Amino acid sequence: MTDSGETGRTATDAVHLDGITKRFPGVVANDDVDLQVERGSVHALLGENGAGKTTLMNVLYGLYEPDEGRVVVDGTPRDFDSPRDAIDAGVGMIHQHFMLVDPMTVTENITLGNEPERWLGLSIDRERAREEVVDLSERYGFDVDPDARIEDVGVGVQQRVEILKALYRGADVLILDEPTAVLTPQEVRELFGVFEELTAQGKTIIFITHKLREAMTAADDITVLRAGKTVGTLGAADASRERLAELMVGREILLDVDRPAADPGETVLDVRDLTVEDTRGVRAVDDVSLSVREGEVFGIAGVDGNGQAELVEAIAGLREVDGGAISLGGWDATDASRRDRIDAGMAYVPEDRQESGLVMDFDLVSNGLLGSQHARPFAENGRIDWDAAREHAEEIVAEYDVRPANVDARAASLSGGNQQKFVVGREFARDPRLVVASHPTRGVDVGSTEFIHDRINDLRSDGRAVLLVSSKLDEVQSLSDRLAVIYEGSFVDVVDPDAVTEEQLGLLMAGEQPDADVSVGEVSQ
């Protein structure tokens, strides 16, 4: 890293966002934010959900015009009207959702809109386009097949194509919005290797994350945003997870929970040889067996889309089973209704809270009743006790810190993270024998994540059975007593979460076998 001394820092900074304010109706998404990014460095923009990270980068990328403040690129103040202007100034952005054209090849996607031409622009010079793509990937040490179709390559490769596309258009500054969210641990490491290669060649990287560890591993500098404001910039070498968490959340956070060894009791959930087809009739769950006992958390780790969603939906009674059996405390629930399963003691935190967790048009009082509207203490002789319902919703809101703390608000008016907290609070409050939780902390901020983790540990020590599905490795690893890895619809292994490394888990999640044997064998014990 260079210290510019006489010239002053802004002159050497690749990017300087100076006092950026961006308002949306009712929200100040960025409030006088400052960000200085040194050329040739990797800079992490760290913050909880809703902190304003994406908005800030959209300002830098010309998607939003700031209400106040200056965008300075390479020492020159800029006034971007569109991403086109940003690209012309050497700023490229890779969004959370890739914007590639599936049936087209890697080369076609990278050169799209900027194709080399032949015959005075009458046709595209495909040969040259391909060569340019090959040169570019070699230069930065990318391993991509220029002729592969996007629909045939995995997300990791698609992400590289997005990066190459930005480089092809001349980007010197690359912005990546939550680039690791869709990757396996191996792919994450490879991506960070790509960052090193790019910065070694003078490129500047800004990447958005809410993961402390990633910011510390991959970045030179870390800027933390909280509630739309810059709370500080630290060198990664001076940062600790505790310090960063405190900056993000605004209070001290305990990151590692000690918990007593499991003392499992009777089997609550028993799944035998389960086969489930997905919506298109493709076999999504293929002969899966598992059991979860009282006082035990059984975790399922996997890259999204490997059948975990269908497995959980089948167990919850939202999806038909094509073969096998599900039993709840000895009762055959294979074809039972949702309601019968709830009555038998199953609580369910769905992956998609908007689809199956909440009725968006209802207020929180009614949403707090969902699944319990037929039963005491909320209903007697077909009449709902609205005072009890209101009190119940108020308890959930208070305990789970749902904001705004207004039970008359419609579910739709809450942010995703607050919706999630409400669903988790309602389900955990059911006095369940079994909790099936699918991505319980997805979209939830660090402070509330910690709180939900504590509640899951409470359920466990309280003798409840918990089936936990998550794509967050640290989450499933720290909460589970046994951990299954699902790949293409089957369990590839069941491991001891305390003994397995993230590396080994990553290999299993990618369908490969780690060198060491990490299996604890039986799926059911």
Residues contributing to the site for ligand ADP (CB under 6 A): 24, 27, 29, 47, 49-55
Q: How many angstroms separate the CA atoms of 77 and 281, rounded?
A: 55
CB-nearer residue toward ligand ADP: 98 or 140: 98
- Of 51, 53, 41, 36, the C-alpha closest to 233 is 36
Q: Residue 51: name its binding partner from Mg ion, ligand ADP, none (Cβ under 5 to 8 Å by kind).
A: ligand ADP
DSSP 172: S
Pairing of strands 267-277, 379-380: unpaired
Question: Considering only residues 36-55, where is the footprint of Mg ion by CB under 5 A?
Answer: 54
Q: How many angstroms separate the CA atoms of 348 and 369, rounded?
A: 14
CB-nearer residue toward Mg ion: 393 or 444: 444
Min separation Cβ 468 and ligand ADP, Å = 24
Min separation Cβ 483 and ligand ADP, Å = 29
CB-nearer residue toward ligand ADP: 444 or 508: 444
Q: Count residues binding Mg ion (CB under 5 A).
A: 1
User: What SS3 state is found at 124?
Assistant: strand
Min separation Cβ 166 and ligand ADP, Å = 19
Q: Residue 29: name its binding partner from ligand ADP, Mg ion, none (Cβ under 5 to 8 Å by kind).
A: ligand ADP
Residue 229's DSSP bridge partners are 226
CB-nearer residue toward ligand ADP: 219 or 292: 219
Min separation Cβ 54 and Mg ion, Å = 3
Min separation Cβ 121 and Mg ion, Å = 39
Contact 493, 290 (CB under 8 A): no
Q: Which residue is at the shortest CB distance from Mg ion? A: 54
Class of residue 259 by CB neighbours under 10 A (exposed 0-12, middle 13-18, buried 19+): middle
**Buried b or exposed e, range 465-480, using 16+ CB within 10 angstroms:** bbbbbbbbbebbbbbb
Q: Is the dihedral of CA 398, 400, 403, 407 positive or negative?
A: negative
- Of 35, 78, 79, the C-alpha closest to 53 is 35
CB-nearer residue toward ligand ADP: 228 or 506: 228
Q: Residue 55: name its binding partner from Mg ion, ligand ADP, none (Cβ under 5 to 8 Å by kind).
A: ligand ADP
Question: Considering only residues 274-303, where is the footprint of Mg ion by CB under 5 A?
Answer: none
Question: Considering only residues 48-87, where is the footprint of Mg ion by CB under 5 A?
Answer: 54
User: What SS3 state is found at 494?
Assistant: strand
Pairing of strands 482-487, 296-301: parallel
CB-nearer residue toward ligand ADP: 22 or 464: 22
Min separation Cβ 362 and ligand ADP, Å = 21
CB-nearer residue toward Mg ion: 225 or 476: 225
Number of neighbouring beta carbons within 10 Å of residue 251: 8
Number of neighbouring beta carbons within 10 Å of residue 285: 30
Class of residue 453 by CB neighbours under 10 A (exposed 0-12, middle 13-18, buried 19+): middle
Min separation Cβ 53 and Mg ion, Å = 5
Min separation Cβ 27 and ligand ADP, Å = 5
Q: Residue 471: name its binding partner from Mg ion, ligand ADP, none (Cβ under 5 to 8 Å by kind).
A: none
For every residue of 192-221, DSSP letters joined together read HHHHHHHHHTT-EEEEEES-HHHHHHH-SE
User: What SS3 state is found at 493?
Assistant: strand
CB-nearer residue toward ligand ADP: 36 or 55: 55
Q: Residue 49: name its binding partner from Mg ion, ligand ADP, none (Cβ under 5 to 8 Å by kind).
A: ligand ADP
Q: Residue 94: name its binding partner from ligand ADP, Mg ion, none (Cβ under 5 to 8 Å by kind).
A: none
CB-nearer residue toward Mg ion: 54 or 470: 54
Min separation Cβ 374 and ligand ADP, Å = 36
Q: What is the binding site for Mg ion (CB under 5 A)? A: 54
